Amino acid sequence: MGKKKTILDFHNMKKSGEKVSWVTAYDFPTASFAEQAGIDMILVGDSLGMVVLGYSGTVPVTMDDCISHCKAVRRGAPNTFVIGDMPFGSYQASDEEAVHNAVRFLKEADMDAIKLEGGRRVTSRIKAIADAGIVVFGHVGLTPQSSGQLGGFKAQGRTIESARELIKDAIAVEEAGAQALLLEAVPPEVTEFIAKKLTIPVYSIGAGLPCDGQLLICGDMLGQFQAFTPKFVKKYANVAEVVINAFKEYIDDVKNERFPEDKHVYHIKDSMEDFEKLFKEFE
């Protein structure tokens, strides 16, 4: 297993033009698989609310939910750069609360960085967390925690006015001290401008090719999450179909007594005659 990358590595990758690959993960096995595959980064996203916990959105996810899943991911991927996603309500109230919760990700779950949503409205939070010595990833564009204000899960930056606001947010996030920025559901033309404008790495989730790397949600790319599939997702597997078919085959085997076979059972060590005597003791 290679040496774990640092934020400096990601800055150098931006300079050299090497793209960064990252995915979300929420549990030990998925994180382990991602690390074995050679992924650059893992995000323990608050998307776990929908993908793992079955909520209709990310808002119900708590700090304790995130910390628990971050711990599992760290155990699965000890040699990978892992980012904890700050859930709704964990940084909105004050700079002090934002720092307190960001610190929890490092102290309790051994995260390498935190991510939070928002542009100019959260610059004081970004600065406070960065000043505490924590690596901060910004996130602008379609920000699921505030999707209600955006009118739902809609792409951003598609008009001149929207793009202008997005660019202002991106610049503000860098100036506040963020070390990287995630753009979600943004046209590639805007993504390319922002990626060239900023000195920090700019990554895409549904924001096109011309940037410093790509993020996908594991449940989407693996075909595990069935409620909906965003336009920007490429499915690399259909795990749901494989798992459902496996369950169906198991059910059929049980009903028709094809499972368990002899190779699946443990055999007695003493004679059957002795066991029959034992059974008679209880008749």
DSSP 118: B
Residue with tokens 């996030």, as numbered in its chain = 173
Answer for the pair 163, 190: CB distance below 8 angstroms, yes or no: yes
Answer for the pair 43, 9: CB distance below 8 angstroms, yes or no: no
Answer for the pair 57, 147: CB distance below 8 angstroms, yes or no: yes
- Give the integer Cα–Cα distance in Å for 154 and 186: 9
Residue with tokens 């909105």, as numbered in its chain = 92
Residue 272, token pair as written in the block: 């059957």
- Residue 174 among the catalytic residues: no
Three-class SS state of 205: strand
Q: In sequence order, what DSSP letters do the residues of 12-30 get, joined into one string? A: HHHHHTPPEEEEE--SHHH
Whether omega for the bond prior to residue 144 falls within 30 degrees of 0, making it cis, is no
Q: How many CA atoms lie within 13 A of 207 on its CB side?
A: 30
Of 35, 117, 174, 184, the catalytic one is: 184
- The kind and range of the H/E element at 64 are helix 63-76
Q: Comparing C-alpha atoms, which of 139, 122, 124 is closest to residue 84?
A: 139
Residue with tokens 């030990």, as numbered in its chain = 28
Active site residues: 184
